[in-house]
């Protein structure tokens, strides 16, 4: 007999949503405000998005907050961004932790001030047993640097006799990346109308679905998140197999 409990349709929503949060500067400029005001408003959008992710049952949310190339920006803007990051990790993360969020950080965190590095490490440790939402923040993250670091590690392991080069397959290599043990993103969303990856999750995005919206990041919220999930649900993912 068919077990109807098993035959229930399973949710087809994305387990892992990754967002390139772009457009803070243009949002501020359109209001005659300094770019820092756009970044402040962007933090509000992060809060809304975290709530939306939990509401929609997404279990992994990766946020591209600062790229390794963003260090090329003027120092006053970098100061504004690191100031916001400092405030976010000090005040928001403990609250998020209480709400079941587990924090992971990817990227060259050692390029940030020591107090920020300490606060990040503490938040990761304090939230390690949380399971409601895995929040991955990409900070000073660059996918090419990540891949090169993994290749370097593989080379060192091989030279040390700990890795047979013939055994280096995709699964092994993926485990050397910063995202080891994380699922690949199902949906990559970019705000502000730009349609590029800007060095984000190049390896991991091999079979991701992409959604681009013209909405600027500070205007992003639950409605836009739900819209992106609806768009995702209309996509047919094939992974190279025959169309169904």
* Active site positions, annotated: 22, 70
Number of residues counted as binding Mg ion (CB under 5 A): 1
Q: Compute the chain's Rg from CA coordinates.
A: 19
Residue 36 vs 176, nearer CB to ligand IPE: 36
Q: Two tokens at 42?
A: 């962007």
Using the rule CB under 6 A, is 14 a contact of ligand IPE? no
Closest CA to 106 of 20, 155, 177: 177
Q: Looking at the DSSP assignment, which residues form a beta bridge with residue 62?
A: 18, 136
Q: How many residues comprise the chain? A: 244
Q: Compose the 174-213 pattern: x for residues touching ligand IPE by CB under 6 A, - for all others.
A: ------------------x-x-x-x---------------
Which does residue 66 touch among Mg ion, ligand IPE, none (CB within 5 to 8 A, set by kind)?
Answer: ligand IPE
Q: Helices in the chain by DSSP H: which ranges? A: 4-7, 24-29, 35-55, 75-87, 93-98, 114-126, 143-159, 170-174, 222-233
- The residue number with the shortest CB distance to ligand IPE is 25
CA quadruple 56, 226, 201, 138: dihedral, nearest 10: -70
Using the rule CB under 6 A, is 64 a contact of ligand IPE? yes
Q: Compose the 20-59 pattern: x for residues touching Mg ion by CB under 5 A, - for all others.
A: --x-------------------------------------
Using the rule CB under 5 A, is 224 a contact of Mg ion? no
* Residue ranges that bind ligand IPE, judged by CB under 6 A: 20-26, 64-67, 70, 81, 192, 194, 196, 198, 217
């Amino acid at each position: 007999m068919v077990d109807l409990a098993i035959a229930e349709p399973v949710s087809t929503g994305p387990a892992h949503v990754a967002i390139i949060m772009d457009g803070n500067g243009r949002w501020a400029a359109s209001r005659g405000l300094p770019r820092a005001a756009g970044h402040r408003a962007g933090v509000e959008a992060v809060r809304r998005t975290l709530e939306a992710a939990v509401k929609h049952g997404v279990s992994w949310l990766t946020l591209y907050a600062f790229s390794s190339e963003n260090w090329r920006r003027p120092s006053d803007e970098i100061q504004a961004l690191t100031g916001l990051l400092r405030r976010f990790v000090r005040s928001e993360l403990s609250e998020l932790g209480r709400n079941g969020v587990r924090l992971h950080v990817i990227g060259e965190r050692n390029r940030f001030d020591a107090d920020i590095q300490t606060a990040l490490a503490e938040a990761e440790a304090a939230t390690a047993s949380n399971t409601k939402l895995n929040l991955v923040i990409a900070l000073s993250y660059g996918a090419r640097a990540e891949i090169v670091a993994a290749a370097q590690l593989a080379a060192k392991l091989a030279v040390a006799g700990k890795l047979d080069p013939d055994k280096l397959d995709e699964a092994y290599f993926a485990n050397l990346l910063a995202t080891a043990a994380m699922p690949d993103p199902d949906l990559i969303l970019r705000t502000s109308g730009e349609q590029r990856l800007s060095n984000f999750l190049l390896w991991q995005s091999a079979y991701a679905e992409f959604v681009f919206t013209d909405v600027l990041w500070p205007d992003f919220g639950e409605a836009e998140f739900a819209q992106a999930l609806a768009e995702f649900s209309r996509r047919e993912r094939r992974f190279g197999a025959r169309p169904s």
